Each structure stands twice: as C-alpha cells, then as structure tokens.
Structure 1
Amino acid sequence: MTSSDRGDAENRFRTFRWSDLEGEFAGSIDGPDSEGRIRHILDPANAVTTIHWGRNYIFEASMATSSGRRPVVVKQFRNHGWRRALERRFKGSKATRSWSVAKALIGAGFNTPEPLVLAESTEAEGNSHFVAALLEPAFEVRHFFRRLDNQSDAGEFPEVDDLQFLGRLGQLARSLHEAGIWYRDLSLGNVLAHPRADGEIELHLIDFNRAKLNKHLGLWRRSRDICRFPIVEREHREAYLEGYWGEVPHRWDPRWWLYCLSVRGYILKHQIKNALRGHKTRGTTAKSLQGGKHHAHIPAAEKGASIRDRSVWDRLSDQPHQHASKWQKFRIRLADAPDHLAGYGAVIRGAPKVRSRYLELKQGLWQEPVSFRGVGVAVRPCAEDPEAHFEALTGLGVRHVLLRLHPWEENHEAEEALAQRLSERDIEVVFSLPQNRELVTDLPRWERAVERLVRTFTPYGRHFVIGHAINRSKWGVWTSRDYTRLLEVASKILRSYDGVEILGPGVIDFEFQATLAALQRQREGFSFDAVASLLYVDRRGAPENPQMGLDTVGKITLLKAVCDTARHTKPRSWITEVNWPLWEGPHSPAGRSVSVDEEAQANYLTRYYVLALTTGLVERIYWWRLVARGYGLSTLESDGSLRRRASYRALKTLVAQLDGATSLGPIESPDGTYVFRFKVEGGERLVAWALEDGVTVELPSKPQSAINRDGAVIDVPDTTSVILGPSPVYFEL
C-alpha cells in the first residue's frame, strides 16, 4: 500500500492504491492493517443489515478501529455497461461524486454522516464504494410527512412543531443554494433528523451523488430543487417557503406559483412511475434477453467458456449464477430440441394417469387421520462457530436433518463430524449430492466423488438425494441425458450398499412436467425409492396463494399423483428444500419481488408445514437452511454470534406442538381462515390463522390455553370466539 497524508486542508484524508482498489480514507480510521479492515467492510458477505436493495446496494457493516468496532454504512455502486463506463471516465463515479460533495458539505458547515472511505475498482466495470459513519439515532423525514398526512404507515419520528420544522427544511434548502450547492435530490429519504443529547434536532444530508457544486441558481432551478417534499396544504407551503425566502410570497408571485407548479409536476411524475412499476417495457425485456445485470460480487465466467459452461458460484446466496443470457439459453434449447420433445412426449403419455390419480387423491384429502411427522431442516457446516450451530440445530427438536454435500470439493471433514454427532443423537440424516457443470462433463470425477462420499457417510445415514434443480441450467444440467448419466453412475455405487435408498430427481419449483419427464425416461430396471422435490411457492407469496389454479395443498396432491403413476419410482414423496427468501440484498437467493420480511417468513413456514404434512401425501419437508443470511432460520451477526430469527422460533414451536400428533384435518371456518384439528396426548389441539388481521372465528369449544407462533403463552377469551391474523396460534381444547 502507498499512503500520503493530505493534511488539514482536507480533514486529514489519506490516499491509497492497492492491487485492485484505489481511493481515499479518513485519518480517523487509520491504523494497523487499514487495507484488511477496509476490504472487510466492502465485502457484502460481511453485511450486518441490508438498508436498501435496488440499483445500488446499501448495507450496514461493522469496522474494527483502535477504539473498538464502529458501525458504518457502505454504498456499493455498480458500473456495468458502456454508459456507466463513460460516466465514470468523464464525470467520475457516483461514489467519487458522493465523496467530493460530502467533503464540500462538511467544509460549508452542513451536517452529514462522516465520510470514511472512497474505494474505486481499478477495473473498467468494477465496483465503486462510498462508506460513511452510521448515524444513530436517525429518522428519515419521510415519516414526518407521512404523519403530517395522517398515513397509517408513518414510522417513528421525533416530536416537533409541524410549521417550525417545515420552516427549518426551507432554511436548509436556502443555505445549500447560498453555498452554491445544487442538490438535485433534496427529498424524503435524503434528509435525516438526528436528536442530540440536549434535545435539539440536527438535520443531516445523505445521498448526494447527483449534487453539483459552485452553481449559481436562478428561480427556475431553485423551485425545481425544493419541490421534492410533498407539501400540498397552503399553510404548510407558507411555512416552508417562508423558511426558504424569509417571507411568504404572494399567491401571484413567481416564487409561489412556480414552486406550486413544480410540486404538482413532481407528484404527477411519481404517480405515473408507480402506475407503470411492475410492467415490463421493451427495454427491460431486451436487457433480460441480453443477460441483464448481476450482483457485483459475482465473478465473471471463465474467458472463452461455451454457453453451456458459463455458470459460476455465488458465495453469498450459496448457489450458482448463470451468466448465459436468455437468448443464449434459447439457442441451446433449440439445439437440444429432440431431447426436449421426447420429454414432452413422455409427459403427454403419462398425463392421463396423473390426472385420474390427482382427482382420486383430491377427493380423499383429510378423510382419514394422519400422523403429523416429517418436519426437517437442511444444513451445511458452520465454520465460524460449529458448537453454536449444533446447539441451535438440536435445540429445534427436529428428528430429520438433510446435510448437503458438495461433491466438487475435496475436504468433507466438517460434514462428517456433523453427521457423526447427529447420528449419535439418533437423528435421521439424509445426504444431498448436488451437481455442477464440471461434474456433469467429467463423469470419472463424479464417480470418484460419489464413491468417496458414499463410503464416508453411509455409516451415518442411508438416504442419498441424487440431482439438484435439474431443470435449472445454472446447476449444470441442460438435457435429460446429462442427468441420466449422473444418476446411472451414482446408482451403481449406491446399490452396492445394503439398505441405501436413492431419491431424486430434485426438480425445483412448480414444474411437475419436468419431474414426470425425468421419472418416465430412466433406464429399465431402475426405480427411485422416493421422489425428491424442491417445492418452492415463494413466487406466489403466501402458501395459500394459487398458481395455475393450485395452492400448496393442490401442488402437494399433484406431486403425489405423479409419484403414484410414474414408471420409475416408488409412490413416495419428499420435499427436500423449501424456504422464503428474505429482503437481504445479494444474500437472498431470489429477486426483490419475491423476498419477504422475517415476520412473513415465519408465518409462511408454519402454514406451509401444516398445509403440506396434514395431507399425508408427503413424508418429509426440509427447510433450507438452518444458518444463512438471506433465507436461513438464523444468521451470523457481525460479532460472530448466532441470531435466531422468528422463523427459528416458529419451527421449534411447530415441532413441540405438533410432531407426533394425529391430524384430524381442517374444520369448517370462514373463507380466508384455516383451522386444523389435532389429537394429542391428553386432548385436542388446534392451529389456526387467517389471511388478514382481525378475523373472528368460532372454535368448536372454548380454548383452555393458547400459545402464539413463537411459543409464548397468550391470553385466551372466555368464549369460543377468537380473533385470528396471519400469524398462526395454537389452542388447547
């Protein structure tokens, strides 16, 4: 590293240039191993909390300093594409512009979180980063305006006099303009209110990469720059403009009507944008066909790699990423058309039997008592704190664990140690062997890997899942032949061990035609011992939501119909992977549109397990996974501790309340509500929920006690009427 002190003139900022990064950092964070500490906070893998997930990724991180750990905010800008490259070359990146404006604001006496690091990739399309201190406590002024407008979604905001606060915002805008700063985005989310210890409230500015310095602003630019707050009431506008102009302009004064016109135009623009949001434009479609964008941490495909070989490993979401564009994949599908047509033929031939069996199963749903068993969780070893990981795993109370092995790796000591400890606890362990493109194209290597893994892990479990998301090219399988060759090699090895069961094919999502095709087209003499499916329903939100007319119960029923009628499997169904991704940026395995918060995830988990296992049509369900940012039941915090999410408590409560109980099926309840009845030792238990808050339901008898989704005891009314919401409740009758 080369470093130079730039002196007091620029607040003692230091420049640096490393092999792949260059920029500046504040002298306040200088110290031993500055490079290592800065690289640590720039890595999204070390994000503590996702703050914003959009065109740019903003997250909180924890930085080690000489005085202890310091919370910081990292804003990661992507520079993909020729437009960003040109902008970066001639105007500077957004991070560089943010850095310059932050220093200018501080120099002019404005409040803004302390700028700490500017880091620019030395690659043309590499990332740019702007890092600032985390301001705590801080409240976006959007919540002041929501409260001013009596909106129900108004968040917390300090108590202020409305008119005086509007005047302060006007004064802030005027001060910026007098300092020659044309902010160009002075809006709801870019001004923070920070209460000081003495009770005064400071206004801090953020998100200023669009700002321009040393500008003389005329009336038009001033009006456009101050119009981004939704101030519509006359009294409020007067207070705001008095703060800006020092007086209330007359109604026919250009300062008044030009401001009002600008506000109306700004509000109209956002109304149009919101109306269009979610609709795909031609430009969006074209981008997706060309390959679109990906998270900045994902490595590029190997130079010169063929279209079939362009998937790479995404270490944050723990899955592959496919660099091939939709057009490129379409070309491969055309080249493989004979294989796909043969698959469609197998589906068409098998469909009548599937339909007939589906109708039979549907008619017989919940007609007989069902033992509620099969709640499981999927895991990978936790290198950071294996003891805390094992304690959390055993603390759930589950008796079924799926351990995913990575056959492309050579060292499996951590996996073996975990499997041995679970086996000693008499916990059933299932082993999943996913594939990647390298193994698909190198069968001898696949054979050696399977031989080694089966030999190592059969002492701890007798179930092996062969095939993972075989209907997704990013996992290396492009044709049925790709998967069949893997299966033939693995089955030959596995069948040489007594009592070992083979599960597959591991189709992901609601694509049962792919499952049926895979089950119909295996070689004669081979049969799966059970069908393994990765039955996600997250793209439809709640598990009760329909897709092509089928909700979770309908999909479970159709899947069992496939298992019962397909040629090369026993009539058994396992769901080896399910979860709902969280709103945690690149750690989430799916897009923003299907991600949920932690409360919704916990609600959906309980409801999915109850809906699926009470049918009696599926033997096991495994949540992927125990520890993971972006989707796990728990997550590692910045200090290395393990935080158990609401979904962890929900699964633990589900096991404690229902595992081993006898399901008597649902009882009649109003539309949009679900009440399931169970026979337990000593009596009966209900689990109930509603899709909306505040729905009243009559129970068959007055409940004696109740606990909530997370296992806490709650009050019960002295009547059979109870009020339900999206969070399931357990009632003891």
Structure 2
Amino acid sequence: MKPPFSWDAYSDQPALLKDKAYKNAMRRAQWREHLKTLGTALFALPLALCAMPFFKPKKRFELGLCVNLDKGHEQVALVEELGVKHLLCRFPLWEMEHLEAYATFIKSFGNDKTVVVCVLQDREHIENLPLTALHVRKVFEVLSPLAREFQIGNAINRAKWGFFSVGEYLRFFECVQAVRDTHFPHLKLLGPSVIDFEYHYTARALFHGFNTRFDAHTALLYVDRRGAPHNKQLGFNTKAKIAFLYALAKLSPKSSDDLYITEVNWPLSNTAPYAPTSEKECVDEATYARYLKAYVTTAKQSGKVRKLFWHQLIAPGYGLVDNREGLHKMQGFDTFKKLLQESAR
C-alpha cells in the first residue's frame, strides 16, 4: 500500500490513517455520495425492518476458516487436523508480483476444499480502474482454476481500506464485473463486504443505479465492542442483526440472498500489538471459545447464513493459533474443531 496508507502486519489490516487533512478532504469530495447513502438508508432500512418477520428460510449452513499466505504452509496440516472444507484466502492487489505464490499456497490445501478468494483493494486500484481491469483479469486467469467465488473488496466503509464512499466501491465493483462478464462468466462475484453493524452503508450498496449484482452478499459482522453475541447494539443482538441483513439482501434487486459472513472473531487479552482493538475490548481464551461457539450456533440456527468464515487460523491477537513461539493452539481451536464435526453430521 502506498502513502498515506500503510499496512499493520500485527493485526493484518491497514493502519489508521494519520493524515487527517487528507482523510477529511477526500470525504468532503464525496459529499454527494454521502447524501445518497443517507437518502437510501432512510428508505431501505425501515422497509427491511418491517419485512424482517416475513423472511424465514432454512439455508444449508457451512463453516469455514480464513487462511493467509504470510502465516506459512504449516496451516495445511492444521486445516487437515480441524477438518475444514471451506477456506477464504485474501489476495491484495498491491502484491501482483506474488500472484503465483498465492496460487501455490491455495493448491497446497488439496483439491477437496471450496475456496473463496478475497480481492483486497488499495487506493491506486480504486483511482485507476483500467489498471484494476488489467490486474483483476490476471488474478482470475491464475486463480479461477482453484476458486469459483471471488469477494471483491473488503471493509468498504472504513477509510483506511481506501474507499471514501460506497459509490467509489460500486464503480470499482462494476469494473471488476465487466471483466468477469466478458471473460469469466462462470465465476461468482461477492460483495459488498461492509464491516460492523453499519447498515446504512449496506443499504446504499444494495439499492442504486449501477450495473452491478452480488452473486452472494458478504458482510464482516463483528460484535467485539459489545461483548457476547447475545448483547444488543441499538436494540439488535447478533440474531437480529443477521435477520435485518438478510431482509435487506432479500429486498434488493442487486444481490443474491445467500449471506456469507466472511470475517468475525474476538480480540485476545494481553496480545498487543497483535490485537486489532484496545485491551478494553479483549477477552481471555475461555471467553473467546465460549463466544465463538455462541456466534456460530446463532448464525447456524438463524437459517439465514449460507457460509461463515472465522478470521483466522493463525493470528496471535485474534486467531485460533498463536505462532509467536512455536504453534500454540488456543482454546478456540478445539471449540472450532468440535463445531465443524457437529456441522458435518
């Protein structure tokens, strides 16, 4: 990532934007888009809220896990030990020179895995759509033999990830979809990947005039600042948040109602700087394992989540394994394994 953006390797996400003048200027430039987001939310959110009780599906639920190239090939044995069949692997567009290495990494898990590739954006590709089209075509050429589903963009409502409005994301997605439609019509494109319970951004991504459609609806549905999954935020616990999100997808002409939660975890105590939040939001290993089980169970029992990916296998601050001194399997590892075994029955 290029300045003013930088990557925090400890927490596996972009660092906070320190150039406040730049951030504020970029946001001001998108004022029309912010008005559209507000207007769309005022229309779509009450409609979805009213429609929530009428959508009662029973979708087949699948539990998956996020893996990262930079965490090493020891992940292969851990995935086999867990019995994971569904994987999500990030590919950053700013690492095009390592594309073949990512392909080799994905192949190492064997051909019995279903893989979603998450294509991470940066500001250069957001601003230069011809470059995006060129690079995405190459990504599809190299990785489509290994994966049929590609999540386009991540955490689109966070400026540190590069987008300053949902409109910018939709133009980005539209560019990628044009490449898919022309050259790779068999692939599925997933989005919009809004993070947290900020459904006004979701509404804007689902109700608009762009030539886009999400083949599955992706969301990073965290509750780490609210404690346990049953805790409420603005009156909504995790079960209600899922139902609300599903209603939005059902009502939208721009999305499938297949809901993928592509990223969720809890931050672990005493792991700074690896924890993605402050110590205030962190929990101990036992609580992490308990929340993991509660969240997965809630998602499965809702009947409205098609796939859920735990983020991620190896990460000292929030994953299932701590690799700072060898490989330490945390309590969440065994809990996740048991949940996978239960899901397979």
TM-score (norm 1): 0.45
- Cα shift readout 1:282-309 (whole Å, capped 9, x = no counterpart): xxxxxxxxxxxxxxxxx9x94xxxxxxx
Structure 1 residue 327: Cα displacement: 7.2
Secondary structure at 2:262 match in 1: strand
Amino acid across the alignment from 2:280: S
Fraction of identical pairs, as percent? 33
Partner of 1:696: none
- Indicate which of 127, 130, 139 corresponds to 1:444: 130
Q: How far, CA to CA, are the matches of 2:148 and 2:339 in structure 1?
A: 26
- Cα shift readout 1:93-133 (whole Å, capped 9, x = no counterpart): xxxxxxxxxxxxxxxxxxxxxxxxxxxxxxxxxxxxxxxxx
Matched, 1:353 2:47: yes
Matched, 1:577 2:263: yes
- Indicate which of 466, 469, 473 corresponds to 2:152: 466
Partner of 1:644: 329
Secondary structure at 1:560 match in 2: helix
Amino acid across the alignment from 1:439: H
Amino acid across the alignment from 1:659: S
Structure 1 ranges of 4+ moved more than 3 A: 324-335
Q: How far, CA to CA, are the matches of 1:562 and 1:383 in structure 2?
A: 35
Partner of 1:377: 65
Question: How do 1:304-315 and structure 2 match up within 5 A?
Answer: 310-315=4-9
Q: How far, CA to CA, are the matches of 1:337 and 1:327 in structure 2?
A: 16
Matched, 1:416 2:100: no
Question: How do 1:273-292 and structure 2 match up within 5 A?
Answer: none
Partner of 1:659: 343
- Cα shift readout 1:210-229 (whole Å, capped 9, x = no counterpart): xxxxxxxxxxxxxxxxxxxx
Any conservation in 1 of the 2:61–2:303 contact (CA below 8 Å)?
no
Q: Which has the higher strand share?
A: 1
Structure 1 residue 351: Cα displacement: 2.8
Structure 1 residue 452: Cα displacement: 1.3
Partner of 2:88: 402
Which ranges of structure 1 fall in alignment gaps of 5 or more residues? Answer: 1-298, 303-309, 662-733
Any conservation in 1 of the 2:207–2:252 contact (CA below 8 Å)?
yes
Question: How do 1:189-208 and structure 2 match up within 5 A?
Answer: none
Provide closer, same or farther for how the CA distance between residues 618 and 342 of structure 1 changes in structure 2, counting only shifts above 3 A.
Answer: same
RMSD: 2.1
Matched, 1:389 2:75: yes
Amino acid across the alignment from 1:378: C
Provide closer, same or farther for how the CA distance between residues 371 and 355 of structure 1 changes in structure 2, counting only shifts above 3 A.
Answer: closer
Structure 1 residue 447: Cα displacement: 2.1
Structure 1 residue 407: Cα displacement: 1.3
Any conservation in 2 of the 1:408–1:449 contact (CA below 8 Å)?
no
Question: How do 1:554-633 and structure 2 match up within 5 A?
Answer: 554-583=240-269, 584-633=271-320
Question: How do 1:17-56 and structure 2 match up within 5 A?
Answer: none
Structure 1 residue 534: Cα displacement: 0.5
Any conservation in 1 of the 2:17–2:23 contact (CA below 8 Å)?
no
Q: How far, CA to CA, are the matches of 2:156 and 2:17 in structure 1?
A: 17
Q: How far, CA to CA, are the matches of 2:202 and 2:194 in structure 1?
A: 6
Partner of 1:242: none
Q: Which has the higher helix share?
A: 2
Secondary structure at 2:6 match in 1: strand
Matched, 1:482 2:176: no
Partner of 2:10: 316
Matched, 1:343 2:37: yes
Secondary structure at 1:412 match in 2: helix
Partner of 1:454: 140
Any conservation in 2 of the 1:434–1:466 contact (CA below 8 Å)?
yes
Any conservation in 2 of the 1:371–1:660 contact (CA below 8 Å)?
no
Q: How far, CA to CA, are the matches of 2:320 and 2:101 in structure 1?
A: 20
Provide closer, same or farther for how the CA distance between residues 371 and 490 of structure 1 changes in structure 2, counting only shifts above 3 A.
Answer: closer
Partner of 1:678: none
Q: How far, CA to CA, are the matches of 1:593 and 1:475 in structure 2?
A: 24
Structure 1 residue 483: Cα displacement: 1.0
Amino acid across the alignment from 2:340: V
Q: How far, CA to CA, are the matches of 2:343 and 2:60 in structure 1?
A: 6
Matched, 1:517 2:204: yes
Task: Name the structure, 1 or 2, with higher relative contact order (CA <8 Å, separation 6+).
Answer: 2
Amino acid across the alignment from 1:376: G
Any conservation in 2 of the 1:422–1:429 contact (CA below 8 Å)?
no
- Cα shift readout 1:499-520 (whole Å, capped 9, x = no counterpart): 2111101100011111111111
Structure 1 residue 334: Cα displacement: 3.6
Question: How do 1:101-180 and structure 2 match up within 5 A?
Answer: none
Q: How far, CA to CA, are the matches of 1:522 and 1:463 in structure 2?
A: 24
Question: How do 1:688-707 and structure 2 match up within 5 A?
Answer: none
- Cα shift readout 1:386-432 (whole Å, capped 9, x = no counterpart): 1x2200012111221111111110213332123223352x1111110
Q: How far, CA to CA, are the matches of 2:160 and 2:210 in structure 1?
A: 25
Amino acid across the alignment from 1:395: E
Q: Which has the larger radius of gyration?
A: 1
Partner of 1:45: none
- Indicate which of 190, 208, 222 corresponds to 1:503: 190
Structure 1 residue 441: Cα displacement: 2.1
Amino acid across the alignment from 2:307: R
Any conservation in 1 of the 2:59–2:304 contact (CA below 8 Å)?
no
Amino acid across the alignment from 1:399: K
Partner of 1:428: 114
Q: How far, CA to CA, are the matches of 1:599 and 1:372 in structure 2?
A: 29
- Cα shift readout 1:576-616 (whole Å, capped 9, x = no counterpart): 11111112111111222211122211111111000111111
Amino acid across the alignment from 2:227: G
Provide closer, same or farther for how the CA distance between residues 447 and 568 of structure 1 changes in structure 2, counting only shifts above 3 A.
Answer: same
Structure 1 residue 337: Cα displacement: 1.8
- Cα shift readout 1:517-553 (whole Å, capped 9, x = no counterpart): 11112514x3111110000111101111100111110
Secondary structure at 1:376 match in 2: strand
Aligned length: 342
- Cα shift readout 1:653-678 (whole Å, capped 9, x = no counterpart): 1111x2144xxxxxxxxxxxxxxxxx
Provide closer, same or farther for how the CA distance between residues 489 and 371 of structure 1 changes in structure 2, counting only shifts above 3 A.
Answer: closer
Secondary structure at 2:131 match in 1: helix
